[in-house]
Amino acid sequence: MNAVNDPNNDPNNDPDNDLDDETRAPLAPLAALVTAIDEADLLNVELPLEMPGLLEDFLDPEVQAALPAALRPAADAYLRSLPGHRAGNIARARGQHRLRLDVWNGEAMPIREEDIEELGLEEAPEDG
Amino acid sequence: MDDRKMDDRPLTGRRDPAGEVLEAMRAAGCEPADPGAITFDGRLHRYDVAGDRKGRKNGWFALHDGIVPHGAFGSWKTGVEESWRGREAATLTPEQRRRERERIEADRAERLAEQRRRQARAAGRAAALWDRARPAADDHPYLVRKRVPAIGLRQSGNLLVVPVRGGDGALRSLEFLAPDGGKKFMREGAVEGGHHRLGEFGGARAILVCEGYATGASLHRACGLPVAVAFSAGNLFPVAGDLQRRYPGATLVIAGDDDRHAEGNPGRRHAEETARWVNGAAIFPDFAGLDTASRPTDFNDLQALGGMGHLRRQLEARLAAVLPVEDARPARPDRPVAEMAEMAEMAAPEMGAPARRREARDGDGDGGRPDRYREVTERIIELIEAGTAPWQRPWDRARHPGAPVFPVNAATGKTYRGVNVLLLGADPRTSDDPRWCGYEQARARGWQVRAGATGTTIYFFKRPETPEAGADDAGLTDGDGRDGDWRNEDRRDEDRRDGDGRPPRGRAPFLCRHTVFHASQIEGIPSLEEAYGPADALPAHAWEAEDRLERILRRGGAWIVHGGDRAYYDPNEDVIALPPRERFPDAAAYFGVAFHELGHWTGHETRLNRPFAKRRDAPEYAREELRAELASAFLGAELGVRHDLERHATYLDRYLGLLRGDSREIFRASRDAQAIADLILDRHPSWQLRDGVCARRTEPLAEISETSEVAGETATAERTPEAAPPIETGERGETAAAAPPAPYRWALAALADPDPGDGPRDGLFRRIDAAWPLAEVARAPDAAPDAADRSPDRPDPRAPVAAYLHYPYHPS
C-alpha cells in the first residue's frame, strides 16, 4: 500500500491529522489528484517531467501535455474542480490551485472571518 | 615496441592500492571502520567511518583501477573531500602519463554526470516525499528533546523531514531526523551547498549559518535573525559562499560547533575557515558554568543546559561583538530602572518557551500549522531591533514628487494596506520607488522579474471558491466525503453567506504568504517618470512649506493650546497642548510633535474611537503610542514632516513587549495607523486617497477659517468655532455647545476620572497646572524636579490624568 492510499495518510481519514473541516474542504480535490498521481507510480518511472514542480506547475500546458494517459481522467476531474478553469479564467484557476497547494503544504493558515476586519487584512489580487 | 604494448605493460614496483588509499583515508580522518569495504569499481560507495556510530555511513569513495589507480574519497560529516591516485605515476612514460590523465579526466566527467543523474532522480523522490509528508508537529520526540519547534519541517511516519534546498530555493534532497536523534539524508541526494532556511533572508543585514537543524532553530528563536542550516561542518563554506553571492549586503555569522572533544575540532576549524573566506565572523557557544558531562558542542546544547534566556544573553553578546554597530541589537545602558522593570514585566510571560509551543498550550495555535501572525510579528520585531522599522529611519531621501509614498502595486496602482505597508515600507527601496508587483502580475503585463531576484513576502487572505456549473463529482466533496453544497454552483461565495455574513462552511479564509518584487527587480516596467510624469513638471507633493503644514494642522479642526513645556493630547478635553512654537528649535521639530499629537487626537470617540488608557503603565497606553508612532511615520513620509528618531527610540522596548505578548497586535496597530493617516491626509489640499490610490484632488477642500488660537507662555486656551472638524459627526462645535464651559468640564473630568494614586482634588490641581504652569510654579515650586531634568520615560506625578504626555520640551 502506498503512502497516499494508506488511510492513515489520507488527510480526510487520519485521526492524528489536526486539520479541521475548514482546512480539509479545499484539500479534497487536491487529495484526489495526489492519490491518482501516487497510484500512477510516477515516482518509479522515467518521465519527461521531473516530480519537482509537477503539482506546482500542474496547470501549465507543458505539464498537462506530458501527463501519462492513466492520469488523464484524474487530471481532468481536478481541472474541472478549479473555479475559473472552464471559463478560461486562468488567473483565477491558478489562484485557487495555489491556495490548495498552500493548504496542502501547510503554508496557509486558516483565519477567522472577523480577523479580516479586525486586523486590516488585504485580499489577494486575483491575478497574483 | 608499439605504444599499446608500452602502455599496457605491467608496472614494476606496484604495491597494494587498497592499502595506499586506506593510508590516505586515515591521514584525512575518514578511515573506514571496515577496511574490506574498499573496492575499485568506479562506483560511489558509502561506508562507516572508524569512530562514528555504526550505520551513519558518513564516508564515501569512488575508486578506479587501471594503470594508475585513482579516485576520490571524503566524509560528509567532516566535509573532507580528497582526490587520490596511486604512487606509480613517477614510473610512467610521458605518453602513458598523457593517456592516464585523459582517462582520469574521462572518469571524473563520467562520475560527475552519473552523480548529477542520481541527484536529479533523488530530487524527484525528495519532492514526491515532501509533497506527501504532512506538516510536522512540535510534539515530535526529537523536537521535544531538543526543545525547539518545527520550523518549515514535515513529518513522514515518525521521521521528521528537513528540506535541503539550493540557493535558488529548489528542493534537492531531504534529511530525516528519527525520534532517537538519528539522522539520514536521502540516498544519492545533493547536499553540498544545500541548506534549510529559518526566517526571512530578503533584506536581512545579518545571516547566521550553522550545522544542524536543532542548532538553527535555537539560534533563530533566540535572536530572530535568519539562519541557514548547512547540515554539516564541511557544508558550511559552500552554503556561506552561496549566501555571500546572493546577499552581498548581509553580514554572515558562522555559528559553529565547538567539537573540542574531537580530534582537530572540525566544527571550529570549518567555521573559522568559512568565516575568513566569506569575510564574516565565527561565534561559538561558551559552556562555562554549566554541567558539561554530556560533552555539549553547539548552541542547542547551550539552550538545553542553560535555558533560552542563557542562550539569548550569550548570543546577544556574541553578535554585538562581531556585527557592525547598526546590525547589533542596540544596547541602552542608560535605560531607566523603571522602564526596565516595566519591560521585564511585559515581556516576562514570553520568555522561556518557543512561541509556537506556547500558542499550542494557550489554545491560540495548533502547534503544527504555521502561525503567520507570529511570523509577521517576528519580522517586525527584527526590524525594530535592527533599527530598520519604517518609523525608525529618516524620511529625508529625495523622491519623485508625483509618486505615492506608501507602497503601491505597480500593476493595479492600489496602495498596499495594513501590515503590508510596514513590511514593504521597511525596505529602503520603497523610498526611491514605491512600486511592487507579483510575479504573475508582472508577466501578464509583459514585464519580467530579473533572474535570481529575491522577492519580499507580504500577506494576503484568500478564500477557497466554488467551481462553475458542470463540474463533475471527482474530488468535489467536502472534507468529510459528503457531497458539499458547492457542487454545480456558479456563484461566488460572497453570494452565499449566512445571516451573519459568514461564508459557507469550508470556505473560511486563509492567510497566505505572497511574494512581490520591487520595481527595480522588474525588467520592462515603466519608469517612475513614465508612470507619474516628469518629476520637474509636477508641483511639490510634500508639504515643505510651513504655511501648508500649518493649514493642514488647523484644517483638521483640532483644538490646539499653546503653552507650558509639554506636548500632549488630553482625550477628556479633546485638546492638544503644545509648547509655544518659538520654544522649538525649528519649524520641523514643532510640526513633528504637532502631527504626532494630531495622531492621538484622531482616536477621540467622535472620530476613530480608540481606547485611551487611564494610566501610563497600562497596556492601552503603549498600544496608543505604537499607533501614533506608526501614523507619524506614515504622515512624516507623506508630508515631509521630521520624525524624531531619538525620542521615539525610548519607547521601543515597550513596543517590543506589546508585540511579543500578542502576535496580532502589529496587525491591529497597522490598521489603526493607516486609518489615522488616512483621516489626516484627507485634509490635504492637493492630494487625496481615492480607492486606496493617492491621487490629485479634483475638487478643492472647503475653505476653513485658519484663525486658530495662538497663545503665549501664559497658555490661554481659546478656539474658533470655524475650526470645527468637517470630518466626522459629533463635531467639536456641537459638543462644545452641549458641554459645560471649559473650567467646569476640567473639574468634572478630574472628579470623574481621578488618578488612583491620589484624590480627585489632586487631579483637578494637576489638570489646572498642566494648562497653567505658572500657577504650578507659584503653588509648589519644590514639589517636583524641573521638567527639563525629567526623563520622558519617568512618569510625572503631576501629569494630567489620561493625558498623552510624550515630549516634554527641553528648552535649549
Interface contact flag, B370 A112, Cβ < 8 Å = no
Cell readout for B146 is 531538543
d(CA B73, CA B68) in angstroms, rounded, equals 16
Instruction: Decide: residue B45, CB within 10 A, 0-12 exposed, 13-18 middle, 19+ buried.
Output: middle
**Looking at B101-110, B401-410, B635-644, B726-735, which range is the least confident one?**
B726-735
Q: Which residues contact B460 (CB under 8 A, 6 or more apart)?
A: A121, A122, A123, A124, A125, B511, B512, B514
Mean pLDDT of the region B160-170: 90
pLDDT category of residue B785 using cuts at 50, 70 and 90: very low
Q: Which 8-state DSSP code applies to residue B617?
A: T
Which residues of chain B make contact with A27, given a CB cutoff of 8 A?
479
CA–CA separation, A72 and B480 (whole Å): 25
What is residue B406's three-state secondary structure? coil
Minimum-distance CB partner of B667 among A12, A24, A119: A119
Residue B294 has pLDDT above 50, yes or no: yes
Least confident of A112-126, B104-118, B381-395: B381-395
- For CA atoms B420, B426, B428, B431, the dihedral sign is positive
Whose cell is 560527475? That residue is B112
From B519, B529, B545, select the one nearest B399 (Cα to Cα): B529
Least Cα separation, residue A24 to chain B (angstroms) = 5
Q: How far is A2 from chain B (nearest CA, A)?
A: 11
The owner of cell 509533497 is B131
Contacts of B78 (CB under 8 A, 6+ apart): B29, B30, B58, B232, B233, B234, B266, B270
**Res B481 pLDDT > 70:** no
Q: How far is A66 from chain B (nearest CA, A)?
A: 16
Residues of B whose CB is below 8 A from A83? 465-468
B536 contact partners, CB below 8 Å, separation of at least 6: none
The pLDDT of residue B680 is above 90: no
Q: Which of B137, B468, B668 sits opposite A119 (nearest CB)?
A: B668
Taking CB atoms within 8 Å and a gap of at least 24, the contacts of A83-89 are A83/B465, A83/B466, A83/B467, A83/B468, A84/B465, A84/B468, A85/A59, A85/B467, A86/B467, A86/B468, A86/B470, A86/B471, A87/B468
Most distant CA pair in chain B, distance: 123
Domain boundary assignment for chain A? 7-118
User: φ, ψ for residue B299 (rounded to 5)?
Assistant: -70, -25
The pLDDT value given to residue A14: 41
What is the mean predicted confidence (pLDDT) over B171-183? 87
Could you tell me if B120 lies within 8 Å of chain A, comparing CB atoms? yes
Query: CB of B504 within 8 Å of any CB in chain A?
Result: no
Position B258 confidence tier, pLDDT thresholds 50, 70, 90: very high
* Residue A76 predicted with pLDDT over 90: yes
Q: What is the pLDDT of residue A121?
A: 94
Name the residue in chain B with its Cα closest to that of A114: B502
Select the residue from A6, A27, A47, A51 to test the B interface by mutation, using most B Cβ atoms within 10 A. A51
The pLDDT assigned to B55 comes to 74
Q: What is the pLDDT of residue B568?
A: 87
- How far, in whole angstroms, is CA B312 from its chain's centroid? 18
Is B546 in the A-facing interface, judged by CB distances under 8 Å?
Answer: no
The Cα B596–Cα B633 span in angstroms is 9
Contact B171 A52 (CB under 8 A): yes
Chain-chain contact of A25 with B505 (C-beta, under 8 angstroms): yes
The DSSP secondary-structure symbol of B415 reads B
Question: Which residues of chain A have a CB within 8 Å of the CB of B154?
Answer: 106
Nearest to B471 among A81, A94, A127 (CB): A81
Nearest to B526 by CA among B623, B645, B442: B442
**Where does residue A85 rank: exposed (0-12), middle (13-18), buried (19+ CB within 10 A)?**
buried
Average pLDDT over residues B664-671: 92
DSSP conformational letter for B535: G
Give chain B positions within 8 Å (CB) of A102: 462, 510, 512-513
Nearest to A128 among B120, B439, B473 (CB): B439
Q: Rounded to whole angstroms, how far apart are CA atoms B299 and B284?
A: 8
**Of the spans A41-55, B365-379, B498-512, B660-674, which averages the highest pLDDT?**
B660-674
Which residue type occupies B119?
Q
pLDDT at B317 over 70: yes
Could you tell me the pTM of the whole model?
0.50
Give the Cα separation of B113 and B106 in Å (integer): 10
Nearest chain A Cα distance for residue B656, angstroms = 18
Q: How confident is the model at residue B239, as a pLDDT?
A: 93
- Top mean pLDDT of A5-14, B18-27, B52-61, B722-731 is at B18-27
Q: Are A117 and A123 a contacting pair, CB within 8 Å?
A: no
Question: What residues in B contact A55, CB-CB < 8 Å?
Answer: 131
**H runs (alpha helix) in B542-685:** 546-555, 587-601, 619-639, 645-649, 652-661, 665-681
d(CA B341, CA B344): 5
For chain A, say whether B503 makes contact (Cβ under 8 Å).
Answer: yes
User: Cβ separation of A52 and B124 shorter than 8 Å?
Assistant: yes
pLDDT of B132 strictly over 80: yes
* Contact predicate B292/B285, CB 8 Å: no
Mean pLDDT across the stretch B281-288? 91
| Alpha-carbon distances, residue B741 vs B461, B746, B803 (angstroms) | 49, 9, 19
| pLDDT band at residue B159 using 50, 70 and 90 as cut-offs | confident
Q: What is the pLDDT of residue B707?
A: 35
Lowest mean pLDDT among B207-216, B281-290, B294-303, B646-655: B646-655
Give B390's pLDDT tier (boundaries 50, 70, 90). Answer: low
Angle at B160 between CA B155 and CA B164, to 5 degrees: 100
Better pLDDT: B720 or B109: B109
Using the 8-state DSSP alphabet, how is residue B512 labeled?
Answer: E
Q: Do A31 and B470 touch (CB under 8 A)?
A: no
Tell me, what's the pLDDT at B524? Answer: 93
Q: For residues B324 and B304, give the distance between their C-alpha atoms in angstroms, rounded to a whole number.
A: 29
**Gyration radius from chain B CA atoms:** 33
Query: Min CA distance, A68 vs chain B (Å)?
Result: 17
pLDDT at A119 (0 to 100): 93
Q: B667–A108: do the CB atoms touch at under 8 Å?
A: no
Instruction: Note the pLDDT tens digit of each residue in B451-475.
Output: 777 889 999 999 888 665 444 433 3
pLDDT digits (tens, 9 = 90+) for B692-717: 445 566 666 555 443 334 333 333 33
Are A109 and B510 in contact (CB < 8 Å)? yes
Q: Does B246 touch chain A (CB under 8 A)?
A: no
- What share of chain B has pLDDT > 90, as a percent? 14
Q: Best mutation site among B465, B492, B494 for testing chain A: the one with the most A CBs within 10 Å?
A: B465
> Which pLDDT band, with edges at 50, 70 and 90, does B436 fall under?
very high
- Choose the closest CB to A124 out of B506, B514, B671: B514
The pLDDT of residue B430 is above 80:
yes
Q: How confident is the model at residue B420 (pLDDT cuts 50, 70, 90)?
A: very high
Distance CA A47, CA A70 (A): 13
CA angle in degrees (0–180, nearest 5) for B108-B111-B117: 145
Contact B170 A52 (CB under 8 A): yes
**Nearest Cα to B231, choosing from B214, B244, B219?**
B214
Assess whether pLDDT exceeds 80 at residue A39: no
Task: Give the pLDDT confidence score for residue B724 in this predicted structure.
Answer: 29
Among the ranges A17-26, B298-307, B369-378, which has the highest mean pLDDT value?
Answer: B298-307
Q: Residues 461..490 of B with a Cβ closer than 8 Å to A: which?
A: 461-468, 470-481, 484
Which pLDDT band holds residue B289 (cuts at 50, 70, 90)?
A: confident
Q: Compare all CA atoms of chain B with the CA of A122 and give the residue at the minimum distance.
A: B460
Over the stretch B199-246, which tens digit does the pLDDT of each residue have? 888 878 889 999 999 999 999 988 888 999 999 988 998 899 889 888
Using 50, 70 and 90 to split pLDDT, how confident is the model at B781?
Answer: very low
* d(CA B109, nearest CA chain A) in Å: 23
Please determine, for residue B789, whether its predicted confidence score (pLDDT) is greater than 70: no
Q: What are B448's strand-pairing partners?
A: B523
Angle at B23 between CA B17 and CA B27, to 5 degrees: 145
Q: For A5, name the nearest residue in chain B, comparing CA atoms only.
A: B132
- Whether A83 sits inside 8 A of B510 (CB atoms) is no
- Give the range among A118-122, B390-394, B707-711 with minimum mean pLDDT: B707-711
- Mean residue pLDDT across chain B: 71
